[in-house]
């Protein structure tokens, strides 16, 4: 089969590999190069870099809504278009171009967590499990019928980064399974999503990363995990703003006001919350790198319990 692959971030790279191993990927569509880094130079997407390494032609239109962009895709005569975290809306006209339509690899168990940030929202909400779905795309946002899925538990130690990597590998697996079936003439059965249980995973905002000590410690611990490695949780710690890369919730706040330092040791720095306390284990000072609580305390000898 002739496949057109559309994707942009690191999450999509494993799926591109799965497609390229089984079929002819005639073109890769990805977002235009964007300014990044301190120098704000234009940076190609991870998918573009992988496509170039594989010798696959790369297209980077600003939109797929123009007749020119749609004709360019039509000229490729694709049997299937595979979309993984591409970042552009596919108009109905585009969905109709490939012989078998467009498939999407989505990092949640649909209909839960449709939208932009399903991995982080699942952790933040305290979900016990998540997974990936291979979906037949339609005009709505992640509303299409599910072809295949894989589930995985969410551990108490899972961060956004760890779960991202695991789901990227699972996504490549469900895509590989789906392509294998299609190649054998056994197109996966499309199961409509249930009307119940729909939730939306809104795009992450850096403002969300600011922790409010008045919240429950378990809520804050999930935010710390969900927002690692981006945007990274931050809060005021004894008069200093720090970023928090690792933390766990404790049951007792000893009746102290939210934000109070309850204790500071090599095990961590305990901060009273609205309910319970949050033990900070890995923190980052402004302009510094992530360090253990023990190393932080070496630089903050003024930090005492109750300060």
DSSP classification of residue 275: B
Fold entry, domain 2-201: Rossmann fold (3.40.50)
Q: Give the pairing of strands 24-29 and 2-7.
A: parallel
Which sign, positive or negative, has the C-alpha torsion 51, 173, 88, 71?
Answer: positive
Instruction: Please state, rounded to an integer, the average pLDDT across all residues of the chain.
Output: 95
Query: Is 110 annotated to bind ligand?
Result: yes
Per-residue pLDDT tens over the stretch 83-95: 999 999 899 999 9
Query: Is 109 annotated to bind ligand?
Result: yes
To the nearest 10°, report the CA torsion of 232, 233, 236, 237: -90
| Domain ranges across the chain | 2-201, 206-299
pLDDT higher than 50, residue 76: yes
Residue 174 binned pLDDT confidence (cut-offs 50, 70, 90): very high
Per-residue pLDDT tens over the stretch 246-289: 999 999 999 999 999 999 999 999 999 999 999 999 999 999 99
Q: Give the pairing of strands 129-136 and 114-115.
A: unpaired
Strand partners, 7: 84
Fold entry, domain 206-299: 3.10.25
* Bond into 246 cis (ω within 30): no
d(CA 257, CA 265) in angstroms, rounded, equals 20
pLDDT higher than 60, residue 192: yes
Q: What per-residue confidence (pLDDT) applies to 40?
A: 81
d(CA 218, CA 206) in angstroms, rounded, equals 20
Query: Is 44 annotated to bind ligand?
Result: no
Same fold, 2-201 and 206-299: no
């Amino acid at each position: 089969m002739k496949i057109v692959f559309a994707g942009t971030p690191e999450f999509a790279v494993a799926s591109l590999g799965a497609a390229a191993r089984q079929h002819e990927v005639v073109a890769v569509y990805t977002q235009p190069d964007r300014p990044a880094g301190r120098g704000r130079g234009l940076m190609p997407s991870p998918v573009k870099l992988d496509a170039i390494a594989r010798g696959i032609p790369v297209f980077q239109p600003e939109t797929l809504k123009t007749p020119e962009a749609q004709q360019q895709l039509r000229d490729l005569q694709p049997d299937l278009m595979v979309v993984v975290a591409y970042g552009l809306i596919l108009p109905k006209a585009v969905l109709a171009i490939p012989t078998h339509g467009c498939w999407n690899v989505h990092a949640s168990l649909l209909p839960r967590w449709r939208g932009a940030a399903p991995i982080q929202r699942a952790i933040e909400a305290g979900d016990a499990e998540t997974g990936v779905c291979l979906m037949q795309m339609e005009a709505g946002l992640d509303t299409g019928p599910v072809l295949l899925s894989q589930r995985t538990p969410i551990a108490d130690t899972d961060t956004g980064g760890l779960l991202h990597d695991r789901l990227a590998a699972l996504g490549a697996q469900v895509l590989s399974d789906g392509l294998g079936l299609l190649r054998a003439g056994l197109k996966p059965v499309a199961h409509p999503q249930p009307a119940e249980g729909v939730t939306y995973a809104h795009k992450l905002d850096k403002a969300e990363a600011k922790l409010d000590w008045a919240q429950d410690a378990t809520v804050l611990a999930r935010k710390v995990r969900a927002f690692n490695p981006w945007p990274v949780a931050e809060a005021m710690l004894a008069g200093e703003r720090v970023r928090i890369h690792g933390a766990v919730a404790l049951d007792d706040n000893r009746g102290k006001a939210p934000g109070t330092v309850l204790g500071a040791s090599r095990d961590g720095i305990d901060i009273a919350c609205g309910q319970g306390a949050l033990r900070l284990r890995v923190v980052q000072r402004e302009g510094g790198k992530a360090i253990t609580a023990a190393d932080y305390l070496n630089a903050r000898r003024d930090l005492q319990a109750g300060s």
